[in-house]
Amino acid sequence: MKFRDGMWLPAEGKRLEYAEEVYSITEREDGKGISLLCPTRKVLQRSDSLNLSTLTIDIAAPFDGAISVEATHWLGALNPGPHFDLYPAGKPDKSDVNIKTSEKYTTLSSGSLSATVKTADHDFDIRFHATDGSKELTSLLNRSIGLAYSPATSNPMQTADMRNLDHYIFTQTTLSVGETVHGLGERFGAFNKVGQAITLWNADGGTSSDQAYKNVPLWISSRGYGIFIDTPDKVELEIGSERCCRVQTSVLGQRLKWYIIHGPTPKEVLQKYSILTGKPGKVPSWSFGLWLSTSFTTNYDESTVNSFLEGMKGRDIPVEVFHFDCFWMKAFHWCDFVFDSKMFPDPKAQITRLKKSGLVKKVCVWVNPYLGQASPVFKMAASKGYLLKRKNGDIFQWDLWQTGMGIIDFTNPEATEWYVGCLQDLFDKGVDSIKTDFAERIPTEDVKWYDSTLDPKKMHNYYAFLYNKIVYEALQDRFGENEAVLFARAATAGTQRFPVQWGGDCESTAEAMAESIRGGLSLGLCGYSFWSVDIGGFEGYPPPWIYKRWVAFGLLCSHSRLHGSNSFRVPWTVDNDDTSDQGCSRTLSKWTALKARLMPYIFSQAQESVRLGIPLSLRAMCLEFPDDPTSWYLDRQFMFGDSLLVAPVFEESGNVEFYLPKGKWTNFFTNQTKQGPGWFKETHNFDTLPLYVRENTVLVLGKWHETRTVYNYNEGVEVCLYYTTAGAKTTVVDSEGEASGVLEVGEDGQLLDQGFLQGAWHLTKNGRSASRPSK
């Protein structure tokens, strides 16, 4: 929201008051914070302290490298929940906090990060900087913290009745010359957010607008810090779009709290952010295989499902997970958890037969948190208070998406228990994973939650966290802590704990593929390790070339799923079963096999990504190369783990332009090398793309003929050394994610420890084997 009309005037209908000076500072009793009393005019004489607003600014050191800032107007205002679930693994016990006061300044230090408050000359000036003095990160200067009334008041007496007044709190942190801003959830627009106005409000808006399914109040700066805004409420940001040199954050209410987190690298920012909101959950090795969906509105039954899977097997395309989308239930009955008996008379037996056939190992089904009134279950749920109500006691209903649908009220423990019971019944039938769709359009007006202490506006975004947490923990309870897998669409801060997230409804175009990549990169910069996309695009009928280019991109995401809207995504339906080497079927087969071979690398990198709270894929280039200014603008390529660079192709011709940072890079397919930094152009068929290996990499690959996702990652592997020096190493894990051993290059260029490797493994240097070894 813009509060000003240019630099000089308030916006029409807005009254603004700013913290003009720091009048006094009080130190907290625990020695970990300070409280600033900030009048909204300079107090030059005693009478200036009357008839004016003040802002209280609390600055604290929660843990090393992080400082919280909370601005409050009226301290007596309630602060209802829900609140983000912070410190899920516990708050750090020790912190290095120091407060120093001089004649003109007070400095609060929290490990590597400090905040210095100017106390002289009636100025308002707060600087955030590295404790060692090496760098200033950002600041709060004149007219940078304030409150606003809308409509504008002309007399303080008007604030006696706030029912028709909106009250905002805002802050404006400075943007330095050349500084870029990234993150804020899965955003599909420009990767660098400077110049954009962004509203953090979950919406079902597809992938081609400024709306987002996953709004996360965290942004990362190219100057080595991040800011996490600690509220699930609607947050509005003007990122260099009201004042070009500032990021404005505003909320409707009496208080605004955020944390500034010092890296100095973006990886370190995310690692410290994970202390606040939690690390991503681990996912099992089988989940990295290919997922095949029925698609959304298509007709299917058991014979259709079997024909898909038999067709995939006949074309050498292993499928790890088969997904039943919405119409496993009757139309108008979503989501009552009852299989359509006409199409699926015995679902448990069908799933048993499906797995026994060997065509697929796992089964996933679609659910949402809504309930259509046509289902007999609706009356039961309504009578027991399981559904969200209006203020007058009616069930909240509308005809958007599902006729007369209600919304499960997860603040009611009994409703949650019932919902989990429905999930457990699915698990009894053989279901292994859940696609948790929707949860964005949660109403905020004329609603009353079972827990009436909660603020409906805050529940809008937070509902996605509750919904996914409940389903994820139900899966953990049944299958084990590290065996739970979702395919989730809506998210907010903390939802990275419940993987996997996917990118939502994209069109079947090259432009939509680029949008999806930008979305995945932005979400990854909010601490999400695992992300997927509808391969081929969701909406429409992808032409063969789009499908094949998307296959190459999709199989190099952490998770890979074929899914569409009103058309199937099995390859032979896309190109009339072109059996040539460059047809859809052969292309999909090759990329699926490549991902299987990469599993020793992928699954090892997955464990490290979870440990650090960083993305596996898509990993923004700036995470690996933060000192390269170009890396902060690259939104058409990404890293898969720390060693593989991927540049998807967006042209039917195969022409592609990409950037290699400093160093020697080896083409995975040809072993040819290029020296960065620089831009390069290549042309690719459908079975390759720019896939480059970083120098000093020890890359472990599965056997040439390996097409499975789950196997012994220590046996018969190829260990590839890419221009390594002494000390280069990699951790090899088993299919459960446990470390088997470390391969490290010694001074003589040989591997120091090989004892844990099994079978006929072999070593290659400066690339991989160019041809399949004889059996």
Residue 316 burial (C-beta neighbours within 10 Å; 0-12, 13-18, 19+) = middle
> Which residue blocks in 288-408 are alpha helix, DSSP H?
302-314, 347-356, 376-383
Residue 467 burial (C-beta neighbours within 10 Å; 0-12, 13-18, 19+) = buried
Strand partners, 646: 638, 691
CB proximity list for 9: less than 8 A, separation 6 or greater:
none
Strand partners, 39: 54
Composition of the chain by helix, strand, coil, percent to 5 = 20, 30, 50
Local structure of 181: helix, strand or coil? strand
CB proximity list for 46: less than 8 A, separation 6 or greater:
none
Angle, CA of 94, 99 and 101, to the nearest 5°: 175
CB proximity list for 566: less than 8 A, separation 6 or greater:
295, 296, 297, 298
Q: Count other C-beta atoms under 10 Å from residue 683's C-beta.
A: 11
d(CA 512, CA 209): 11
Strand partners, 535: 562
CB proximity list for 726: less than 8 A, separation 6 or greater:
745, 746, 747, 749
- Copy the structure tokens of residue 203: 């919406």
- Copy the structure tokens of residue 623: 């995470």
Tell me the backbone φ, ψ of residue 94, rounded to 5 degrees.
-110, 145
440 is catalytic: yes
CB proximity list for 433: less than 8 A, separation 6 or greater:
287, 321, 362, 363, 364, 475, 485, 486, 487
Active-site hit among 70, 236, 440, 624: 440
For the chain, how many residues are written? 775
Nearest of 707, 712, 729 to residue 642 by alpha carbon: 729
Quote the strand ranges of 332-426, DSSP E. Answer: 362-367, 370-371, 406-407
Residue 384 is classified by DSSP as T
- Copy the structure tokens of residue 592: 């699926």
Residue 396 is classified by DSSP as P
Angle, CA of 649, 652 and 658, to the nearest 5°: 25
Nearest of 383, 365, 370 to residue 335 by alpha carbon: 370
437 is catalytic: yes
Q: Tell me the residue type at 564.
A: G
Active-site hit among 320, 437, 534, 539: 437
233 is catalytic: no
- Copy the structure tokens of residue 514: 């680029």
Residue 633 is classified by DSSP as G
**What are the C-alpha distances in Å from 372 to residues 88, 101, 287, 335?**
34, 62, 31, 7
CB proximity list for 522: less than 8 A, separation 6 or greater:
182, 183, 184, 185, 186, 187, 191
Local structure of 537: helix, strand or coil? coil
| Integer-rounded Cα radius of gyration of the chain | 27
d(CA 594, CA 596): 5
**For the sheet containing 136-140, what is the strand order?**
97-101, 105-110, 113-118, 126-130, 136-140
End-to-end CA distance of the chain: 66
How many Cα atoms sit within 13 Å of 660 on the Cβ side? Answer: 24
Residue entry with tokens 């097997």? 313
Active-site hit among 17, 325, 505, 695: 505
Displacement of CA 74 from its chain's centroid (Å): 34
- Write down the number of H helices and E strands in the chain: 11, 42
Q: Which residues are catalytic?
A: 437, 440, 505
